A and B are shown apart, each in its own frame.
Chain A
Amino acid sequence: MTNENTTKKIAGRGRLPRRDVLALAGAGVAASMPLFARTARAAQPIKLGWVGPLSPPGGYAEGILMKDAAAMAADAINAKGGVLGRKIEIIYQDTRGLPASGTAAAERLIVQDKVAALFGEFHSAVALAEMEVVHKYNVPFLACDVWSQEITAKGYPQVFRNSTTFPLLDTMIGEWMVAAGFKNVALLAEQDDIGLAGRKIAAEVLTKNKIPFKLYTADPTATDFTAQIIRLKAQKPPFDFFFILYAEAGAYPMVRESHSLGFAPTPHTGIFLSGGDGVDPTFWKNVGKAGVGLLCENVGLPKSGWNNKTKAFVAVFKGKYKTDPPGAAMESYDAVWSLAEAIKNTGSTAPGAIIHGLETLHWVGTRGLYTFSMSHTPAWAYHQFMAAPATILQYDQENQSSFDAPIVWPRKFATVPYLYKTPTA
């Protein structure tokens, strides 16, 4: 008997002890609890997924403003009874500005949260990664503040964009430089895809119009441009315009140094800061009096073209967040409304219906009348909001709001008779 028992026990040595097996099993079950997705489909609210940067290394400051604006839109829609008798619920996912994090966010929203559509995003590279996910699952995606032409040029039927794109924006700036009559332009771009793509388009317009220019680049991580600006100042014949395509942390130091070194803005040389920092809420805090006379683009609808929806949105946003809403916030706000409108018009939250609803959209939002192009010529025009508003403004006072700054271009939105006001000494 003893021998029998011993034999059994020895045979049992090859297996894990029962206590440990139970412990392992328990740990395994506990660890996998969140993995098993809720299979019950939420019947009531219409879920929309927002993607964008809410933490570093992404542009989280803008991401947070976009998120706030989207929440405002959902509140406004729900206050009116929702869509098809259902509330709108937005689920927010932080992409950190990283493509891999963006794909995980898109997968989660589609597979786990079962959203009807995605919208948002601030980084083109992340949007390009997310697009592959929405394409795989056939879920509509309304991209907001992402300007790379590749996004719509891919021709994915699920992908729409309500912001501007580089070809639209930089062609407009190039045309303004020609119209303003500059004779010798310094084009300085940050050494990355955004800066160099913009520089290429602007250079093409200047070349076509036989305006002399010189191309320069700067490291995106640089914050001291003293030597470069001194060289630009010493140029013979002197530059009469300094066009900066720079959106990184160095943008404000570049403007400050250009001013303190007496290069631009001066009566002899104008300055343009392209990349979005010119209308950022922190602009004046960073550049001070160096910003007077500076020009920049604004991708929101100008005050002169505001409709009642724009006025109401700006008033509520300012009251709530104590800052002017940037164009990206308006895009995010309008994206929720556009998707709601598409769902309402087609009476369905099915992907095909929403896509059809967006393709046939004819709705006025805070940024004007929304329609999405069906043309593939040029390739980036497909599902692009071709009338995405963009203007050029020139500050003429310190601490001036971008909404109140004189608009010089395009002329249909201009609030002043001149194209360019020569800065005072």
Chain B
Amino acid sequence: MRAPDLALVAVLALLAAAFPFLVNAYWLHVMIIAMMFAIMAASWSLLAGHAGQFSFGHMGFVSVGGYTAGLLAHFLGLPLPLGMLAGVLAAALVGCIIGWTCLRMSGPYLAIFTMAFSEVLRITIVTEVEVTGGAGGMSVPQLFHARTDLPYYYLILALLVVSVGGMMLVVASRWGLFFRAIRENEQAAAAAGVKVTRFRILAFAIASSLAGLAGTFYAPYIGILTPDIGSQDQMGLVVAMAIVGGMESLPGAVAGAISVEFLIQALRSYGQWRLVLFGALLLFTMRFARNGLLAPAWLRLRSLAAPRAAALAKEAVR
């Protein structure tokens, strides 16, 4: 990592640690929700942007994680941290199964299949009222019994750092290279010795388990789980966050999620018009900035430093 990047990371870390003390409880709540969405957007970005698998069932895995944790706490009295772990594992397992089932699918077929999976799951949750509480929701006990959201903030911050850091390591590793190779040309990747089946399932499992992780956090934080969390409406929001941030950039997806969530809240007074605005922003991004709005902006910012650094280096050589 370059020195300016390190400095920026240090500034961001400092800002993140101090954030709860700079804002009121409402914006703290917004940031918590935004970071939760950031995990979802970044994991979807890993799957779609890096591995080239367009899944519209990502929110289904959020439901799997959330409902697993909630149901285990509700029916078996399992402590929530254990329930959360079970939720992540359940999402990973379901992700493996879906990934395996979709092995021969790509493009619109995969998108439609995963969308159907998500809808089947949502309708099942709506229907199984006795178990899940149906559309009326299922109450989930809180993780922390504090009058402030501070513990939730630092927990989701830690989860975000660990999950995005982990994904960045994966992307930078040989696995990441294999993901991109599969994305570009499956046959060529297979001919080069990449175990396509294994890595497609692996990408699905990683992304699904992280989506499940976000779900396990959502359940005790909001205190109620409803099938809406797995709806296509929410899926659209996550996709918009990743696209605005930059689909092939994990930090971009995180920044996209945080920006979009803060904009949604800041523009509350505009009611339905803010949704129109986001739709227009999405159309603009897809037409004119296919790498997202934030990732290129960040690169531009870095390039401002580059000529000066190059000049300094030149002088040093002289």
Tell me the A residues contacting B by CB distance below 8 Å: 6, 9-10, 12-17, 19-20, 23-24, 28, 31-32, 34-37, 54-57, 60, 93-94, 97-100, 103-105, 107-108, 110-112, 124-125, 128-129, 132, 136, 148, 150, 191-194, 196-197, 219-221
Q: Across the interface, do B4 and A16 meet the contact criterion of CB distance under 8 Å?
A: yes
Q: Across the interface, do B312 and A55 meet the contact criterion of CB distance under 8 Å?
A: no
Q: A57-B228, A99-B228 are in contact. Are A15 and B127 (CB under 8 A)?
A: no
Q: Across the interface, do B135 and A194 meet the contact criterion of CB distance under 8 Å?
A: yes
Q: How far does the alpha carbon of A182 sit from the alpha carbon of B305 in the complex, in Å? A: 82
Q: Across the interface, do A17 and B304 meet the contact criterion of CB distance under 8 Å?
A: yes
Please tell me which one of the listed residues B22, B26, B129, B316 contacts residue A6 in the complex, with CB atoms under 8 A apart. B316
Q: Across the interface, do B29 and A23 meet the contact criterion of CB distance under 8 Å?
A: no
Residues of the A chain whose Cβ atoms lie less than 8 Å from the Cβ of B15: 28
Q: How far does the alpha carbon of A94 sit from the alpha carbon of B11 in the complex, in Å? A: 35
Q: A14-B3, A16-B7, A220-B126 are in contact. Are A34 and B305 (CB under 8 A)?
A: no
Closest 9 CB pairs of A and B: A193-B136, A193-B134, A125-B137, A37-B24, A111-B26, A14-B3, A192-B135, A55-B272, A192-B134
> Which residue of A14, A24, A35 has the most chain B CB atoms within 10 A of its CB atom?
A35
Please tell me which one of the listed residues B25, B126, B308 contacts residue A17 in the complex, with CB atoms under 8 A apart. B308
Q: How far does the alpha carbon of A107 sit from the alpha carbon of B223 in the complex, in Å? A: 14
Q: How close is B132's CB to chain A, nearest CB, in angstroms?
A: 9
Q: Across the interface, do A14 and B7 meet the contact criterion of CB distance under 8 Å?
A: yes
Q: A20-B301, A57-B228 are in contact. Are A13 and B309 (CB under 8 A)?
A: yes
Residues of the B chain whose Cβ atoms lie less than 8 Å from the Cβ of A196: 129, 134
- CB contact list, B5-20 vs A, under 8 A: 7-8, 11, 15
Residues of the B chain whose Cβ atoms lie less than 8 Å from the Cβ of A191: 126-127, 129, 134
Main secondary structure of the interface of A (DSSP, over half): helix
Q: Across the interface, do A35 and B275 meet the contact criterion of CB distance under 8 Å?
A: no
B interface bracket (residues with beta carbon within 8 Å of A) = 35 or more
Q: How far does the alpha carbon of A110 sit from the alpha carbon of B26 in the complex, in Å? A: 8
- CB contact list, B262-318 vs A, under 8 A: 262, 265-266, 268, 271-272, 275, 301, 304-305, 308-309, 312-313, 315-316
Q: How far does the alpha carbon of A55 sit from the alpha carbon of B144 in the complex, in Å? A: 32
Q: Across the interface, do B312 and A100 meet the contact criterion of CB distance under 8 Å?
A: no
Residues of the A chain whose Cβ atoms lie less than 8 Å from the Cβ of B190: none
Residues of the A chain whose Cβ atoms lie less than 8 Å from the Cβ of B268: 93-94, 105, 108
Q: Across the interface, do B23 and A94 meet the contact criterion of CB distance under 8 Å?
A: no
Q: Across the interface, do A12 and B26 meet the contact criterion of CB distance under 8 Å?
A: no
Of chain A, the residue at the smallest CB distance from B128 is A191
Query: Does B163 count as interface, using CB distance less than 8 angstroms?
Result: no
Q: Across the interface, do B222 and A99 meet the contact criterion of CB distance under 8 Å?
A: yes
